[in-house]
Amino acid sequence: MRGRTIVAVGLGLVCACSAGAQPKPSTPPKTGVAPLPRDLEIQLALSALPRHLRDAATVYVLNPAKGFEVARQGTNGFHAFVARTGDDTFRGTWPLTAYPDDILYPVSFDDAGAKANMRVFFDAATLQAQGMAPQQLKELIQQRYRSHYYKAPARAGLSYMMSPILRTYVNPDESDDVRTAIVPHVMHYAPDVSNDAVGAVMPSPEAFTHFVEHGRWRENPDPFVIMRGPHGFLVQFLGVTERAAIAKEYEAMLARLCTLRREWCLPQ
């Protein structure tokens, strides 16, 4: 681990997998991302949302040859999908030499977020499918952030990331180190808000080290701001009891993911 800043938006839930499970080989297409089984991808996407929002949410699946496509049109203004080349990819100065094929984090946005923050994910998927080189895509997305091509959400709102599994960059502002962990959380839009402005405190280096080594927080950190700027979020983690309930609810889904990729087996 080469940085000590906080885990980026989206590291997720840890759950035990069968010690005898043998991951099946997977051959990614030229885009670098192999499609998930459709039913599994839909279930995984919806796991980002609390139970009462799932049935009426719009759900997307990734077509590696085209980008995200609507799998089910919803009615409640919430949108859910599984990020494979997410916004974490475009942070930091480290080079994106190849598209990762193991990034996996379910994320959802309300209507305001879908018109703002969600566009980054969808643009990245489309351009990746069209064959844009990895570093070229990273530089383009970063330029779009700087030029305010991507606008801040038009109103207060939130993004649910309550899934039982997320795999992404631990500290994308510093390196491309990737981990799988248990961190179901809710992210409130906080454009141009600093931690000092809201009295938030980043987790200590010791707490962060424990998280990296064990895949879970020793103690739940207080809410804190990440990605300071127009697309900043105030992150609030769920408690131990809630995490355990989510892990229990999705035991079968987690076991299925673990058979597909060893990287998607949650740490013991």
**Is residue 15 scored above 50 in pLDDT?**
no
Question: What is each CA distance from 131 to 78, 98, 174, 247, in whole angstroms?
Answer: 30, 12, 26, 37
Across 233-251, average pLDDT: 91
Of 5-14, 17-26, 97-106, 229-238, the range with the highest mean pLDDT is 97-106
Residue 237 CB neighbours (<10 A): 19
Tokens of 220: 């739940």
Average pLDDT over residues 133-162: 96
Does pLDDT of 81 surpass 60? yes
pLDDT score for 215: 66
What tokens does 48 get? Answer: 């980002």
Positive or negative, the CA dihedral 221, 225, 227, 233 is positive
Q: What is the DSSP string of 15-75?
A: ----TT--PPP----TTS-PPPPHHHHHHHHHTTS-HHHHTTSEEEEEETTTEEEEEE--S
pLDDT for position 155: 94
The amino acid occupying position 31 is T
Any idea which of 65-69, 99-103, 202-206, 208-212 has the lowest mean pLDDT? Answer: 208-212
Residue where the block lists tokens 């480290």: 94
With cut-offs at 50, 70 and 90, classify the pLDDT of residue 4: very low
Task: Return the domain boundaries, the chain.
Answer: 38-184+238-264
In percent, the amount of the chain with pLDDT more than 70 equals 87
Q: What is the pLDDT of residues 172-228, one digit of tens each?
A: 888 898 989 888 999 999 988 988 998 888 777 777 777 767 766 777 778 888 888
What the block records as the tokens of 79 is: 């949108």
Query: How sure is the predictor about 26, in pLDDT bands with cuts at 50, 70 and 90?
Result: very low
Q: What is the pTM of this model?
A: 0.84
Confidence of residue 18 (pLDDT cuts 50, 70, 90): very low
DSSP letter for each residue of the chain: ----SPPPTT--------TT--PPP----TTS-PPPPHHHHHHHHHTTS-HHHHTTSEEEEEETTTEEEEEE--SSS-EEEEESS-GGGGSSSS---S--SS-BEEEEE-HHHHTTTHHHHHHHHHHHHTT--HHHHHHHHHHHHHTT-SPPPSS--EEEE--S-EEEES-TTT---EEEE---EEEEE-TT--TGGGT--PPPHHHHHHHHHHSS-SSPPPPEEES-STT-EEEEE--HHHHHHHHHHTHHHHHHHHHH-GGGSPP-
* CA geometry: angle 150, 84, 139, nearest 5 deg: 45
Residue 91 pLDDT more than 50? yes
